[in-house]
Amino acid sequence: MNSPLPSRRRILLLFLALFLFSAPGCRNDSWPLWQAFSARFIDRASGRVFSGSPRTGLRSWGDLSGSPRTGPSPDGDRHTTSEAQAYALFFALAASDRPTFDRVLAWTQTNLASGDLASHLPAWLWGKDKDGQWKILDSDSASDADIWLAYSLIEAGRLWHIPADFDLGRSMLALIAKSEVANLPGFGPMLLPGYSGFQHGNATTLNPSYLPVFLFERFATVDPSGPWSAIAENIPRLLQQSARHGFVMDWVEYVPGDGFHPVADPATTGPGSANAPAPVGSYDAIRVYLWAGITSPQDPRYVTILNSILAMGEYLATHSAPPEKVSDQGIPSDQPGPIGFSAAVIPYLRALSDSSKAASIQTIRLSSHRNPVTGLYGNSSTYYDQCLALFSTGFSTGKFSLWQGGELIVQAN
């Protein structure tokens, strides 16, 4: 019989195995949804994320005549948005998936930011044009993607001890502060949805789902001279004043002296748009409930934010699914939202008192829509549903959490 290894050697081998398993450069296989998402939506060789056809509420994109439109891009569901790249970067960080993180970052920087995120905010839409050329289709920025990119870089720099990533995130903050922050008269600093097209006359169009308070609280710590603390302070006020019936709206407009009013998606309006649709709370607004639910309970703004958007919790006390749309008068539609909507409201419902039954109902709905073959959710397994589910289930299962001040906590492998 072989003799056992000397104890010192056994200990050294054990420590080596533990190090190799837990090092950030190794794949974390303990998050099945992330593995399924990566297989379906990420080109593993390049780091490009396929995010499906642009949905109403991202940004409008123009054809060669310059007229804004929504709907499928010329290359169908193979196009890429800066939002998709930003979310994938965050999920890779939360999964301790350093190889994917590096590939997604490299593709984003090379293809959307002229090779340098420190000096160029990323273009929001990339794909194949009608002539078959792969290129940037719309060079405008989308600030929700920009802040998630900056946050993921800053936290990767801290968690993985990579000063270059931390510094790149701080450089992005400087660009965001310069190009995507405006001081609203009578209100204060606020993040614009992008660097152009959202200020017209004395009115400013804003998107509440672009404002996870914990991101700005984290930015205030790493860049105390920036506008981030003031923006974080203003976010609860914006929700209190714009969610007038307790439901969040996709888009709102601020007019000095007149406050906030719901407006239609800017992608569907413009000069001469006499038949613009009515304002709604839908595919964008659903993220506000998600952000509220994953905010740390120790956050000083946590309770105020939740109390500003209680109507969804009240609705789900008597309904089996979130509505796909809510009117600007606070009237939910009869059409239930897609499965990602259920995922988004689970942390929110768990944060509310007396909503545990509603949270359980949404959890059951989400679980019942999981495809056992693909590991994804919903019959069509859309990109957006999976992103909402990744945020929700990643938080609910402890893959990541947020400390007071927005610092990211990642589950040890």
Q: Catalytic amino acids?
A: 83, 144
Q: Which long-range contacts (CB under 8 A, 24 or more apart) does 51-56 make?
A: 51/79, 51/80, 51/81, 51/83, 51/84, 51/383, 51/384, 52/77, 52/79, 52/382, 52/383, 52/384, 53/77, 53/79, 54/79, 54/81, 54/125, 55/283, 55/384, 56/265, 56/267, 56/268, 56/283
Answer yes or no: are the C-beta atoms of 322 and 264 closer than 8 Å: no
Give the span between the Cα atoms of 361 and 351, in whole angstroms: 15
The CA-atom distances, in angstroms, between 181 and each of 173, 196, 211, 250, 352 are 10, 11, 12, 19, 32
Measured in degrees and rounded to the nearest 5, phi and psi for residue 115 equal 85, 0
Residue 276: name the closest of 268, 266, 286, 287 by CA: 268
Distance, first Cα to last Cα, the chain = 35
| 32 close to 375: Cβ distance less than 8 angstroms | yes
**What is the spatial distance between Cα 369 and Cα 362, in angstroms, rounded to a whole number?**
11
What is the rounded distance in angstroms from the CA atom of residue 124 to the CA atom of residue 73?
13
